Structure 1
Amino acid sequence: MKLDVDTVQEYLKAVPADRKEAFEKLRNVILKNLPKGLEETMSYGMIGYVVPHAIYPSGYHCNPELPLPFINIASQKNHIALYHSGIYADKNIYNWFVKEYPKHTNIKLDMGKSCVRFKKFEQIPFELISELMKKMNVEEWISLYEKNFKKR
């Protein structure tokens, strides 16, 4: 489900009522623990947390006009999604997250490469997400991005 909005505030207003509280709590946990240097913006039709061009002028290799993405959150049709590039790019963070997840909720982990899907909004492991936000800083993300993804 893509919300047709242009700003973070419009996105928040458009989130369906049944998940609004959980979505806003997820956003607040991210903002409270956001690595220094990341900025909140709209990114790919979702709320994104990106490395701005002021810090990383090269931008995203797929489209250098865009800032380098790191984290996104979205209200999808049947779930709330958290996209975290560190989970995708760093095997240690991935392994840590998979190991820790069952300690924070009894709901089975529903995860893609970088996407964690939360279908039971009352079961979102906010404390775990708070910890995840502290696992990688902007400098580490840029270094890992350049090593693994950026076209040379």
Structure 2
Amino acid sequence: MKSDSTKVEAYINTFPEDVQEKLNTIRKIILENAPEAIESISYGMPAYKTHKKPLVYFAGYAKHIGFYATPTGHEAFAKELSVFKQGKGSVQFPMNAPLPIDLITRIVQFRVEENEALFK
């Protein structure tokens, strides 16, 4: 995996410890499920691409973690994501609740498969 991991680590380290923990959890999910992904900072947040196509992004905030799986990732999981505050192409996981690890994992896997299909 090509990586700008030091910049991603520096980004994560700017947050309080509780936010860092959640950001590192999301990062680990992405890296485990998309080992070929290129990790970088884009739009001021950790970004991941496969086959030169966006995979997912995430960002830390005081009261939530923003997760961006491009519109298709959100559309495919619309029912499960409906319990969270959303914007166009984004979902907010509140800091005062556990991360939906299984859901995030399945979204990342879905996006990996989508990008793989585009590459073939």
Q: TM-score, normalised by structure 1?
A: 0.62
* Alignment root-mean-square deviation, CA: 2.5
3-state secondary structure, aligned to 2:85: coil
From the superposition, tell whether residues 7 and 95 of structure 1 become closer, same or farther in structure 2 (CA, over 3 Å).
closer
Give 1:46's aligned residue. Answer: 45
Structure 2 residues without counterparts, runs of 5 or longer:
1-5
3-state secondary structure, aligned to 1:116: strand
Give 2:57's aligned residue. Answer: 72
Q: How many residues align?
A: 113
From the superposition, tell whether residues 126 and 94 of structure 1 become closer, same or farther in structure 2 (CA, over 3 Å).
same
Give the % identical residues.
Answer: 27
* CA distance in 2: counterparts of 1:113 and 1:142, whole angstroms: 25
Cα deviations by residue, 1:46-77 (Å, 9 ceiling, x for unpaired)? 000024xxx44xxxxxxxxxxx4331111124
| Highest RCO, 1 vs 2 (Cα 8 Å, sep ≥ 6) | 2
**4+ residue stretches of structure 1 with deviation over 6 A?**
none
Alignment map for 1:78-93 (pairs within 5 Å): 78-85=63-70, 88=71, 90=72, 93=73
* CA radius of gyration, larger in: 1
Structure 1 residue 19, shift from structure 2 partner? 1.5
Structure 1 residues without counterparts, runs of 5 or longer:
1-5, 57-67, 103-107, 144-152
Alignment map for 1:52-131 (pairs within 5 Å): 55-56=51-52, 68-85=53-70, 88=71, 90=72, 93-101=73-81, 108-131=83-106
